């Protein structure tokens, strides 16, 4: 999902293989289905689905799904300006953009100071939302209620919310937690490059267990005044076992947080993330912060700051114990504060801007095989790939930071003979696919 230079790693072999994988199924499948989808119902693996094309149909479909009707709702391309939030009470409701293009399906409220507080207010477990844009609301794009489990948030563009973009709640003394959620492949940002106030954040999870946040981009979650914004990714209030991996965070006041003050976090992993902040100051703060957190692992993250904040990673307070920090690559310090304890191993805090492909866009892939970085890490159970899901290690040892460097020699270049053979094979497979399609028409 991250369209970055891959340190010379693409080759003719990869391109031809991708052509083989992509073109043959397309030829076999034939032209795309262009049939009318207006208010169309269709079978799915879990029952029946309905496609809606306007706000009234969407509201009706949600009401029916909550009361036992079709639980999969496809939303046709278009702009949907909501008069109020959509309340999800039924179990296993899925709402997805019909085209799969998240920029083509837009659900919006009345602005960051307007009367529409949420897009989705969810009290039914098993909720899935995907492939759309959510914007212009005064509180949260997605608000879960207590004890909502198995939520999937996928391929969304969330922007311009008055408060935190995704909210997972808790109630003091209530044992109900929100468990086993997933947020992936999303873009969360403020279009103006800064938020409307300081009480904002990306995903804000209280008393949430076993959540995964991966392969997302967070941009410009910044406070304009009064105080710093909340983190791009924040789990606290006794959240447990959160996995945060392969996220890109650019120009956010705070990057990733486990715990805050006395409201802590148990366990969890933060790995293979890239965090960048430019030279603007404002309320810029730490890249990764752990507070009142026990047993968390923080490894193979790359953090680069051009502002003056002195610390890339901080772990704080006496209740923060058993922290493991390894293989992180930064240009700022990794610091234990206020009595926190942990183990630090094979971290490098002296990175230079010319080590990376393109600093000002947040592309923190290695630009070359730096001897200070390549093969200098330690092996960690569960560390099998990097930011791009390339396999680790590529050499005799693990590389520091989020990117496992792949030299051009990692995948052999194609000579003229091999290229000819592969192209001939591609032509043959396409020819066979065309013949097969003609025979079945």
Q: How confident is the model at residue 438, as a pLDDT?
A: 45
pLDDT at 303 exceeding the cut of 70: yes
Q: How confident is the model at residue 364, as a pLDDT?
A: 98
Q: How confident is the model at residue 72, as a pLDDT?
A: 97
* In the chain, % of residues over pLDDT 70: 82
Q: How confident is the model at residue 428, as a pLDDT?
A: 56
Q: How confident is the model at residue 425, as a pLDDT?
A: 57
Q: What is the pLDDT of residues 83-93, one digit of tens each?
A: 999 999 999 99
Q: How confident is the model at residue 27, as a pLDDT?
A: 38
Q: What is the pLDDT of residues 309-335, one digit of tens each?
A: 999 999 999 999 999 999 999 999 999
DSSP assigned state of 414:
P
Mean pLDDT of the region 193-209: 98
Closest by CA to 293, choosing from 337, 326, 254, is: 337
SS3 per-residue string spanning the chain: CCCCCCCCCCCHHHHHHHHHHHHHHHHHHCCCCCCCCCCCEEEECCEEEEEECCHHHHHHHHHHHHCCCCCEEEECCEEEECCCCEEECCCCCEEEECCCCCCCEEEECCCCCCCCCEEEEECCCCCEEEEEEEEEECCEEEEECCCCCCCEEEEEEEEEECCCCEEECCCCCCCCCEECCEEECCEEECCCCCCCCCCCCCEEEECEECCEEECCEEECCCCCCCCCCCCCEEEECCEECCEEECCEEECCCCCEEECECCECEECCEEECCEEEECCCCCCCCCCEEEECEECCEEECCEEEECCCCCEEEEEECCCCECEEEECCEECCEEEEECCCCEEEECCECCCCHHHEEEHHHCEEEECCCCCCCCCCCCCCCCCCECCCCCECCCCCCCCCCCCCCCCHHHCCCCCHHHHHHHHHHHHHHHHHHHHHHHHHC
Top-confidence residue, 199 or 44: 199
Query: Domain ranges in the chain?
Result: 12-26+37-440
- Topology given in CATH for the domain delimited by 12-26+37-440: Pectate Lyase C-like (2.160.20)
Top-confidence residue, 4 or 68: 68
pLDDT at 305 exceeding the cut of 60: yes
Confidence of residue 69 (pLDDT cuts 50, 70, 90): confident
- Distances in whole angstroms, Cα of residue 275 to Cα of each of 130, 222, 410: 25, 14, 26
Q: How confident is the model at residue 44, as a pLDDT?
A: 54
Collapsing DSSP to helix, strand or coil, 15 comes out as helix
Task: Give the tokens for residue 435.
Answer: 């013949």
Q: How confident is the model at residue 114, as a pLDDT?
A: 98
Top-confidence residue, 46 or 139: 139
DSSP assigned state of 231:
P
Confidence of residue 70 (pLDDT cuts 50, 70, 90): confident
Q: How confident is the model at residue 433, as a pLDDT?
A: 53
Q: What is the pLDDT of residues 32-41, one digit of tens each?
A: 333 333 343 4
Q: What is the pLDDT of residues 363-417, one digit of tens each?
A: 999 999 999 999 999 999 999 999 999 999 999 999 999 999 997 765 444 444 4
Q: How confident is the model at residue 424, as a pLDDT?
A: 56
Q: What is the pLDDT of residues 131-152, one digit of tens each?
A: 999 999 999 999 999 999 999 9
Burial of 89 (0-12, 13-18, 19+ CB in 10 A): middle
Q: How confident is the model at residue 423, as a pLDDT?
A: 58
Distance CA 14, CA 8 (A): 12
Q: What is the pLDDT of residues 91-107, one digit of tens each?
A: 999 999 999 999 999 99
Q: How confident is the model at residue 111, as a pLDDT?
A: 98
Distance CA 121, CA 86 (A): 6
Q: How confident is the model at residue 48, as a pLDDT?
A: 78
Give the DSSP letter string of 136-157.
Answer: EESSEEEEE-TT--S-EEEEEE
Confidence of residue 10 (pLDDT cuts 50, 70, 90): very low
User: What residue spans of 178-246 are helical by DSSP H?
Assistant: none
Distance CA 208, CA 145 (A): 11
pTM of the model as a whole: 0.85
Q: How confident is the model at residue 234, as a pLDDT?
A: 98
Q: How confident is the model at residue 432, as a pLDDT?
A: 56
Q: How confident is the model at residue 17, as a pLDDT?
A: 42
């Amino acid at each position: 999902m991250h369209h970055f230079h891959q340190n010379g790693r693409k080759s003719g072999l990869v391109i031809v293989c991708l052509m083989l994988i992509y073109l043959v199924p397309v030829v076999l499948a034939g032209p795309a289905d262009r049939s009318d989808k207006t208010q169309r119902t269709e079978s799915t693996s879990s029952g029946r689905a309905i496609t809606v094309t306007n706000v009234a149909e969407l509201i009706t479909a949600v009401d029916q799904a909550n009361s036992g009707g079709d639980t999969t709702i496809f939303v046709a391309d278009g702009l949907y300006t909501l008069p109020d939030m959509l309340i999800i009470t039924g179990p296993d409701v899925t709402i997805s953009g019909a085209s799969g293009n998240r920029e083509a399906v837009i659900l919006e409220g009345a602005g960051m100071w307007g009367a529409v507080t949420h897009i989705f207010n969810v009290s039914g477990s098993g909720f899935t939302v995907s492939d759309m844009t959510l914007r212009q609301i005064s509180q949260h794009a997605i608000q879960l209620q207590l004890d909502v489990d198995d939520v999937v948030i996928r391929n969304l563009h969330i922007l311009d919310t008055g408060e935190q973009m995704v909210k997972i709640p808790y109630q003091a003394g209530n044992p109900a937690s929100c468990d086993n959620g997933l947020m992936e492949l999303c873009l969360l940002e403020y279009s103006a490059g800064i938020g409307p106030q300081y009480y904002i954040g990306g995903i804000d999870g209280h008393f949430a267990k076993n959540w995964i946040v991966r392969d997302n981009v967070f941009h410009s979650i910044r406070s304009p005044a009064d105080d710093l914004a909340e983190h791009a990714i924040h789990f606290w209030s006794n959240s447990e076992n959160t996995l945060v991996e392969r996220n890109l965070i650019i120009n956010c006041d705070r990057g990733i947080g486990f715990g805050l003050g006395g409201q802590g976090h148990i366990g969890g992993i933060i790995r293979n993330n890239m965090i960048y902040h430019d030279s603007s100051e404002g309320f810029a703060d730490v890249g990764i912060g752990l507070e009142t957190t026990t047993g968390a692992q923080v490894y193979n993250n790359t953090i680069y700051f051009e502002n003056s904040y002195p610390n890339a990673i901080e772990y704080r307070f006496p209740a923060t114990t058993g922290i493991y920090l390894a293989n992180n690559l930064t240009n700022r310090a990794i610091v234990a504060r206020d009595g926190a304890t942990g183990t630090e191993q094979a971290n490098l805090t002296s990175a230079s801007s010319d080590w990376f492909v393109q600093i000002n866009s947040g592309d923190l892939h290695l630009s070359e095989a730096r001897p200070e970085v390549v093969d200098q890490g330690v092996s960690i159970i569960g560390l099998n790939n990097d930011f791009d899901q390339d396999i680790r290690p590529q050499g005799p040892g693990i590389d520091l930071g989020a990117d496992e460097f792949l030299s051009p020699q990692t995948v052999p270049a194609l000579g003229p003979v091999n290229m000819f053979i592969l192209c001939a094979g591609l032509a043959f497979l396409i020819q066979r696919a065309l013949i097969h399609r003609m025979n079945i028409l």
